[in-house]
Structure 1
Amino acid sequence: GQTHRFFFQGVQMGTGQHWYVPVLVSRGVDTSPGKPSSGPCIALVAGVHGDEVSGIDAVQRVMAQLDPAAMTGTVIAVLGVSRPALEYTRSLWPSAQQGGVGIDMNRVWPGNETADNAAARHAGLLWHRLFVPNVEAVLDYHTITTGSAFTLFLFADLRQPAVRQMAELFPVEHIKDDPGLGGTLETAFVAAGIPALTIEIGEGRRFEPEKIALAVEGSLNVLKHYGLIAGPMGRTAADVGTVFGNALETVRATAGGFLELRVALRDRVTPGQPVALQRNAFGDLVAEYRATVAGEVAVIARDALCEPGQRIVQILYQSQV
C-alpha cells in the first residue's frame, strides 16, 4: 500500500558512469510472495524521445491521483527513458560514436544488452530487467517532435481486442488503427503478447494542459478497466466523437522556402484542397500543396522555414486498400 521511488540503472556512459531512469512504483495492498501484487501490473512509460515532455507531465499527474492503500495491483511509471536526450531536450539519443550521431530510441526495441550502440543496450536493460518480468499492459506516452504540432492522437493495433478496449477508453481527437512499426516500444510489447498503445499529446518541448488532462482521464479509465482503482469511468472516445482512421497521408515539401499553412489541426479536407503555400527567399511562390484524400488534419508543421522532403501536413483518413 505504498508508492516507492527508484532510479533504474541503465547503460553506462563513455566515462563509465550510468544513466539512471526515474521510476515510481505504486503497489496495492493485496500482495503475494514473489509478485508485485495479486492484481495486474500496468506500466506508464514516457520520455522515449527527449523533447516529448507532455507525456512525463501526464504520467506524473496520473501517479499523483493514485492511493496505493486503495489499489489492487501495481502501476509502474517510467519517467524519462532516454535520459541523455531528455537532458538536452532533443528527440534522439546523442551518441559519441562516429564523431557524434543521434539514435532514435523508438526504433531499437526490444533492445539488446549486447548491441552495437548504447541506446539499444539501454533499451535491452529496461526490457529484460524491468518491463517483461513485471508488466501486463503498457501505455507509452509521446508527442510529435520539435517543429510540428499533433492532435491528441493514439496509435493502436485495433486487431488486438485488449488494445482496442484500452484505446476506446481515451477521450482523444484521433485514433489510428495501426499494425505497428518494428523497433517501436508499442509494437515490441504487442509482439510479446503484452497489450500496448501509443498516446501522442500534441507538441514537443512544452506542456499542453488541455490535451494532458484528457490523456490523464483516459489513463485513469484504463486503470479502472483493469480493476486497479475504483470509481466511475471518465469520458471515452465514444463520448467525445473520436475520429478513427487507418492511414495517414503525408504531404512533404518539394522545394525549400517559407510555408504559409492553409489548414489547422482538426480541419476536414477533401481531395484537391490547398493545405499550404511556399515562397522562396525573394517572396516568389514556388509550390502549392494540396490534399489527395478526404480526411482530418492530424499534424501540421510549426516551423515556417521548410527544406525539401520535410513534412508539412498529415491527414488521417480511412483507406479502402
Structure 2
Amino acid sequence: MTIKPLIWGGALGVLTSTLPVLAETRFNGDMIQGKPVITRLDVESLEPGKQHEFYFRVAGQNNAGQHYYLPVSVLKGEAPGKKVMLVAGVHANEMNPYLTVHKVKERLAVEALKGTVTIVHQFNIPGLIANVREFVPSGPVKVNENLNRQANTEDTRTSGQRYSHSIWNDLLKHNADYAIDMHTANPTTFPLFAYTDYSIPAVKEMTRLFGVDVAFSSQSQTTVDGAYNGIGVPAFTLEIGARDVYEPELVERAVDGTLNFLRHIQLIEGEVMQPELPVETEHWEDVRAEFGGFVVPKVQLLDKVKKGDLMFVQYDAFGHEVKQYHSPADGVVVQIIQNPMAESGSQLGSVVY
C-alpha cells in the first residue's frame, strides 16, 4: 500500500492528500438491471475514455438478509487529470441534488474530459425508500441515524454506522481530489448556500467559483465535506433550496457552478466565470417558535434585516395572533420555514451576519 504525503497549498492546484492507493475495483460478479455490482471502487483501475455505471453494494444487510446498492457513475476521460466526487442524497428526501447531478452528467462528454468525475447518485437508500431525511434501520429498534454526522465513523455497532463506514472506506475516501456534497435545507428552505471551511484556502477558492448567494464558514469532522477536508481533499456542502421539491432555477445555478469549477481545474474546457462574491460570514442565529400553531413569514430569502425587524407572525387554531417574531440581529435572511405549521422549538428561520 502506497501512502501519499499531505500538502495543503494556497491554490486549488497545489495540494495532495494522505490517502492509501487502492489496488483495484472489486466486482463480485452480480448484475442488477444490466449494471455490474462492485464492492470497492478504485477509479484509477477503470478503463479511460469511457462512462462506467455500477451498483455499489454496501457492506452489511437489512433484516431480510438483503444488501443495499448505490447507483454510481464514473466518467473517466482519456486524458489524465483531477478526480472530482459529486455526492447526492446523504439526506434522502432532498430532491434538488439528485436532479443536479443528473444534469451535470448529461452535460459532460467523457471523450473531452481531462480527469474523472464520480457521481454517487443516491447515497441513502433506506431513507430514500422511506422518503425521510435520515438512515432508517430495518430492524425492530427504529432509531433513525443522520449519516451526515458520521460520514467517516470507525464505529460499526449500528446498522447506520456500518453503512457509513462501508461507503466512506470503499467508495468515497480514495477516489477524489475534490468533493462536493449536495443537500437542501431541511425542513426550511435555503437560497443557493454553502457550508464551507474558509480556513482552508483551496476550499475558499473552490466555493467562490459556484456563485452561491451565501457562504457560511464553519468546521466539521464528521460530515462528508468535513471528512474529506480532514484527509486533505478540498470539499464543501452545497445547499440547493428546499427538500421534497424540484426547483429548476436553483438546480440550474448549481449545475452552472459545478461546471464552472470543473473548467477551473481544467477537467473540461471553456471560459471560467468569476461570479459575484457571496455574503461571507461565520455568524448565525435562528428564530424559533415559542408556541404551536400556524406561522406566516413576513420576510423573504436574502432580505436584509435590522435587529428587531418583524420576521414571522404566529396564529393559534382559532386564527388569533399569538406571537410576533423579530430578527435577532442585523443581517441577511438565509432560511424560512417551508411548512407553516410549527410546534414549540421549531426553527422558523435564520439570519447570518
| Superposition TM-score, scaled by structure 2 size | 0.83
Is the counterpart of residue 131 in structure 1 residue 172 in structure 2? Answer: yes
Of 258, 282, 287, which aligns to 1:246? 282
CA distance in structure 2 between the aligned counterparts of 1:305 and 1:18, rounded to whole angstroms: 37
* Superposed counterparts of 1:89-100, under 5 Å: 89-97=131-139, 99-100=141-142
Is the counterpart of residue 15 in structure 1 residue 64 in structure 2? Answer: yes
Match of 2:150 in 1: 108
Match of 1:291 in 2: 327
Q: Secondary structure at the match of 1:199?
A: strand
**Structure 1, unaligned runs of 5 or more:** 31-37
CA distance in structure 2 between the aligned counterparts of 1:96 and 1:288, rounded to whole angstroms: 42
Of 54, 66, 70, which aligns to 1:6? 54
Q: Secondary structure at the match of 1:150?
A: strand
Of 74, 83, 99, which aligns to 1:25? 74
Is the counterpart of residue 72 in structure 1 residue 114 in structure 2? Answer: yes
1:137-187, Cα deviation, whole Å (9 max, x unpaired): 100000112x4211110111011111011101011211112223x421111
Which letter maps to 1:275? M
* Superposed counterparts of 1:1-321, under 5 Å: 1-11=49-59, 12-30=61-79, 38-97=80-139, 99-112=141-154, 115-145=156-186, 147-180=187-220, 182-234=221-273, 236=275, 238=276, 241-317=277-353
**Structure 2, unaligned runs of 5 or more:** 1-48
Q: Secondary structure at the match of 1:17?
A: coil
Which letter maps to 1:5? E
Please state how far the C-alpha of 1:261 moved relative to its aligned partner: 1.3
Please state how far the C-alpha of 1:97 moved relative to its aligned partner: 4.6
1:95-138, Cα deviation, whole Å (9 max, x unpaired): 135531211111111033x6121222111111111222221110
CA distance in structure 1 between the aligned counterparts of 2:318 and 2:256, rounded to whole angstroms: 48
CA distance in structure 1 between the aligned counterparts of 2:274 and 2:290, rounded to whole angstroms: 41
1:252-287, Cα deviation, whole Å (9 max, x unpaired): 111111112111111111001111111222233222
Asked if the contact 1:142–1:201 (Cα under 8 Å) also holds between the matched residues in 2, the reply is yes
Asked if the contact 1:45–1:141 (Cα under 8 Å) also holds between the matched residues in 2, the reply is yes
CA distance in structure 1 between the aligned counterparts of 2:108 and 2:212, rounded to whole angstroms: 22
CA distance in structure 2 between the aligned counterparts of 1:127 and 1:143, rounded to whole angstroms: 21
**Comparing 282-291 and 168-177, the one that deviates more:** 282-291
- CA RMSD after TM alignment: 1.4
Asked if the contact 2:82–2:115 (Cα under 8 Å) also holds between the matched residues in 1, the reply is yes
Please state how far the C-alpha of 1:235 moved relative to its aligned partner: 5.4
Q: Secondary structure at the match of 1:40?
A: strand
Number of corresponding residues: 304
CA distance in structure 2 between the aligned counterparts of 1:9 and 1:252, rounded to whole angstroms: 41
**Comparing 88-97 and 295-304, the one that deviates more:** 88-97
CA distance in structure 2 between the aligned counterparts of 1:234 and 1:82, rounded to whole angstroms: 33
Asked if the contact 2:87–2:123 (Cα under 8 Å) also holds between the matched residues in 1, the reply is yes
Q: Secondary structure at the match of 2:81?
A: coil
Which letter maps to 1:115? T
Asked if the contact 1:150–1:298 (Cα under 8 Å) also holds between the matched residues in 2, the reply is yes
Which letter maps to 1:94? V
